[in-house]
Structure 1
């Protein structure tokens, strides 16, 4: 386990998360006849980043926030995290590359003085949180003494509960002096830092994780968390493992990717550590395992089609708050991929389908907006194929009954008309 780590949030990152974290559960719900629920009771993708984009481009700001600072993060780490393409950029081959470099900027100051190294740390606190499901990333770790890559999660109540009461789930950590070993750990109140509870996984045959890509994952449910590497399970933790201490894995968490340099656990780089060092991420994917009892647990992800076979679409594929929602020719883009979930939200591009101003008035436009848990963002999909806003008790409606490309969507009293019927593809 990560026995040498004191805590993992930085002061700068903590302030950012307090001010911007989205409080939004992501366990999914679809109402309707039992046959529909059975069809939906499968694992469905709820969020992902495949890192497809031009070489040298920045990580998608609609999905990731890059942190900055050189506080040491409570572990005496040596790097300064920067929001820079020199430290985090796409490689043009479908990967995100986090690069740790020797620092050349004399203006950067770390907890110990002039910074020796720069690197990157990314989180989804502003854009995506989820409680329960399957979380995985395909990663090639760096190599060398003092390297500390990690794929992990923190509770979205970090700003109010504080660490470790908000909880931490470390999906994968590797320290350079153990090239063939990764660690999975949970941290919470009374079992944090050196008291974290976890286990390690060792590659067979003396292989090193830096030699190739591997898939690191957890499967998280209300009663247990299970870790795996390349599909092979190596530990499961339940409340019974905590010795009576509090199980705090009952609310949404957000994702973090980072590459630290040095610190109390890995130790400092030595003469044999070459720079730059890279952590290469092929993808990050999150899904929610469906259930078939009652109205809870089932998931649907895909296109939402309306009158004329047209798709519900985020105008311009923008992730900005208040972006209008419209009908558009179906093209399969992410702006037309919607997830209906057990928290009642309908999501695309990491944000929620929202009734403007939380109005209940006929003709109020719908928009994309940061998920906030209000009833203006609560929807139910019925067996009659209505998509009904809970706050207004009105149906998603196509303005003027039109099927034309670019027709705005709104809420209106449910009438059973064709322009209020929606099919989940």
Structure 2
């Protein structure tokens, strides 16, 4: 999922030939899930029409302080406060000069001066205009104020000259803004390894030993971590859960405990944080039949052998990783969770009790208690698994 999903973007369009690119820019922002509101200077209408940008943004486009037909007031303060981010593209030399001088002779400038959110600006002008020392001084003043420059490209300009001043392409602008936002997220630069779902241990080609885990908790953890800037590898057993629009999550599907172990060991060494929420089968059939076992007898006896404990192995091999386990208990919950915490060399353990209504497998809610290495605990109320994922990740962030 893009970090622009659900963000309110105020796009301010000024009068440069590069304004034609804003139709592509709006379309890309909408594809990223952003809510786009466009404001235009009067002269920018010569380069791209309000109708085009209104159709693409699915919002009315504003140019004047007053609507000439209805007399409605387009409040520049409300417009600015409504935005999560302001993007000025193209930013002409004339507009940059007025921005640096705090002039407000049109709706675009008045809105810019009312901004309290981050402001990005993408200059677009001819080579000598861009290099003009007064123009460079204005750009420096805006950057010193805190506005964020999206550097122009070098290339063919409208004048026919070649050089710096060409507005960054829409794809480059989107990438620049996304990268800036990600750097402010709490898990930016962190690699998270998360396991989810059950594992199935084959009895024969059609039967298996498994459990009721749906994978919902692990998938919510992965989605939230990705949304908060992490690079996520999600290893999941059989599940109907999907990553959906969270396209940057690396999803690895496995079936058995052995397959999950191999996938975990392949990625564990490069992880900063590992959250093992999968319900891994403790045992597997000693012999797996190549053909379907017929129900000829009244009884079927299976000899089971223990699977290697993935979490125990990870605890032994832990170096700098922050390792988190889950404990689903039915009795002596706290003491069992604390034994697991110590035995497996965990940094934290998350306790689920099947005694708590609304917690456990297949539910859309969960109720957890988190213990750290000092055995101090933090108790959380019953919440949706999306909210529980947020609580868990905030807890981890506070301790790394």
Q: Which has the larger radius of gyration?
A: 2
Higher relative contact order (CA 8 A, sep 6+): 1
Q: Same fold (TM over 0.5)?
A: no
TM-score, with length taken from structure 1:
0.27
